[in-house]
Structure 1
Amino acid sequence: MNLFDQLLEDSNKAFKGWDFSFIEDTGRVQSELLPWSYGSKARKYLFGAKSMLDMGTGGGEFLSKLLPLPDYTLATESYLPNVPVARMRLAPLGVEVVQIKEDDQLPFMDESFEVILNKHESYDVSEVRRVLKQNAIFLTQQVGGTDCVELNQLLGASLNPMYQKWNLQTAAEELEGQFNVLESREAFPSMRFYDIGAVLYYLKAIPWQVPHFSVDAYREAIYELHLFIEKNGFLDVRQHRFLLAARPK
């Protein structure tokens, strides 16, 4: 087996929860720092709160590191394979993980939470407003619609039309009718891949980046990208992130 074929095997590695340690802890992919810290913002808004909801908790990795949590803390997750992972991690912390199907149908009473956190998860503005208490906080960090578009271009893959116009301005305008925006930031940090195996592992974990992605369908373009990385040492692509903190009107 040559190096290229060995790296192709990385696309078959199991991915659980929201854990990229297979390529991050070995330094095979590195991301430029954002000009803000979502975790620090979360700690700021959680201070003194007695109730919170973490939307789209993944495998509970981030939430489990925010200790101490409010006495009443719940989490939602819509991706079925993540649910048992999150429950195993969060149950010992007293956090119930609720599986949901649609973000516009949250199974909670009106005005249930003082803080809602949402990292890289879809949401419905009216439903978020419904379950938030007055004077509460909605904090979200989102992946923008131009995230890593260079990967699509290099592979000759179409962009996902669902996300192309998703940016800070669009999200802020959607909130305006029911929220006052307290903070808003947007950034385009670099993400660097050091081998094609790391690229493939990433694309498998983020299936919406290249819809219907498979190694066989893009093998020729993947090989060309492998040669590019071997020659230049790395591949840089541009991420797209934005953050909003808002309070109900």
Structure 2
Amino acid sequence: MDDKDRATGDAGDHADSAFEALLAEGAAVPTEGWDFSWFEGRATEERPSWGYAMSLAGRLAGASAALDVQTGGGEVLDFALGRAAPKAPVLTVATEGWPANVAKATALLSPRGIAVVASPEDAPLPFADAAFDLVVSRHPVRPLWDEIARVLRPGGTYFAQHVGPRSVFELVEYFLGPQPEGVSSARHPERERAGAEAAGLEVVGLRTERLRVEFHDIAAVVHFLRKVVWMVPGFTVEAYRPQLRALHEQIEADGPFVAHSTRHLFEARRP
């Protein structure tokens, strides 16, 4: 082997080891909760102009009894309550369906006197009729409109940020190929408006935005797909290793992989 061949081989070995190290790093990061701080410097997502967490703080400051549905690890509610204090609601409760998140949210929110109730995302809300004047949620899997209407007091408000249709689908289709137009249509804001109105709610605000997302390395892609499990169902590093390698090489050669998220801000009121 001459010096040129040896140098090429060394470069290939280095590239392989760098790729494997990134895969291992992305696969090792814990996925509990909705704290995305690990992505700093590795992935970016443009934020909606309405600033949900700060807007939520204002709503909490004006409420007497609040429910956070599908709170995740409790991070957004904790932040908003910190900004709402000392005018936070007298009663605040949260629900969560994923056991690991229930534990994380309980540890974070219990010092504030907030109970986190383990409740599957598709189950009826375990609360009495007209128990809350404010129901909130950030990125619910699916809003249960009849249940939201039932637990709201007359004049009460549902205030939430939802994931819109075909969010980050450039990444989904990279791994799964072209998806039918009907996929993710349940998240369309107008379809959700119709669902809310059918449950007897009055939709008083609905804003939508499409936002730029960049993945700067393959570790960020791996962690994202492990954390947001419905994007590529059944995702594992081993099952998608060829696609991950090709995407790693693409990012190394061309720069960040660009996708777009969709979000809508939803406000509805029980008459």
TM-score normalised to structure 2 length? 0.86
How many residues end up aligned between the 2 structures?
247
Identify the match of residue 137 of structure 1 among 157, 161, 179: 157
Counterpart of 1:110?
Answer: 129
Kindly report which structure 2 residues correspond to 1:13-162, keeping only aligned pairs within 5 A, or say none: 13-24=29-40, 27-67=41-81, 68=85, 69-121=88-140, 122-157=142-177, 159=179
Counterpart of 2:202?
Answer: 180
CA contact (8 A) 2:175 2:232 kept: no
Deviation, 1:52, is 0.2
Tell me how far apart the structure 1 counterparts of residues 56 and 62 of structure 2 sit (CA, whole Å). Answer: 12
CA contact (8 A) 1:16 1:85 kept: yes
Counterpart of 2:10?
Answer: none
Tell me how far apart the structure 1 counterparts of residues 22 and 93 of structure 2 sit (CA, whole Å). Answer: 39
Residue by residue, what CA displacement relative to the aligned partner does 1:155-190 show, whole Å, maximum 9, x if unpaired?
235759763441111111111231111111111101
Q: Match for 1:66: what amino acid?
A: A
Q: CA RMSD in A?
A: 1.7
Worse-superposed segment, 157-166 or 230-239: 157-166
Deviation, 1:208, is 0.3
Tell me how far apart the structure 1 counterparts of residues 133 and 176 of structure 2 sit (CA, whole Å). Answer: 45
Question: Cα distance 1:246–1:237, how it changes in 2: closer, same or farther (>3 A)?
Answer: same
Kindly report which structure 2 residues correspond to 1:1-20, keeping only aligned pairs within 5 A, or say none: 2-9=17-24, 10-20=26-36
Deviation, 1:248, is 0.8
Tell me how far apart the structure 1 counterparts of residues 52 and 80 of structure 2 sit (CA, whole Å). Answer: 11
Tell me how far apart the structure 1 counterparts of residues 101 and 183 of structure 2 sit (CA, whole Å). Answer: 23
Deviation, 1:104, is 4.2
Worse-superposed segment, 98-107 or 108-117: 98-107
Tell me how far apart the structure 2 counterparts of residues 193 and 141 of structure 1 sit (CA, whole Å). Answer: 23
Tell me how far apart the structure 2 counterparts of residues 14 and 218 of structure 1 sit (CA, whole Å). Answer: 20
Tell me how far apart the structure 2 counterparts of residues 243 and 96 of structure 1 sit (CA, whole Å). Answer: 26
Greater Rg by CA: 2
Deviation, 1:151, is 0.8
Tell me how far apart the structure 1 counterparts of residues 38 and 68 of structure 2 sit (CA, whole Å). Answer: 25
Deviation, 1:89, is 0.8
* 5+ long unaligned stretches in structure 2: 1-15
Tell me how far apart the structure 1 counterparts of residues 102 and 43 of structure 2 sit (CA, whole Å). Answer: 26
Q: Match for 1:149: what amino acid?
A: F
Worse-superposed segment, 112-121 or 12-21: 12-21
Tell me how far apart the structure 2 counterparts of residues 138 and 175 of structure 1 sit (CA, whole Å). Answer: 10
Identify the match of residue 212 of structure 2 among 174, 184, 190: 190
Worse-superposed segment, 32-41 or 192-201: 32-41
Deviation, 1:31, is 1.0
CA contact (8 A) 1:52 1:116 kept: yes
Tell me the percent identity: 33
Deviation, 1:40, is 2.9
Worse-superposed segment, 126-135 or 33-42: 33-42
* 5+ long unaligned stretches in structure 1: none
Tell me how far apart the structure 2 counterparts of residues 165 and 107 of structure 1 sit (CA, whole Å). Answer: 24
Aligned residue for 1:136, secondary structure, equals strand
Question: Cα distance 1:157–1:213, how it changes in 2: closer, same or farther (>3 A)?
Answer: farther
Question: Cα distance 1:98–1:159, how it changes in 2: closer, same or farther (>3 A)?
Answer: farther
Worse-superposed segment, 36-45 or 90-99: 36-45
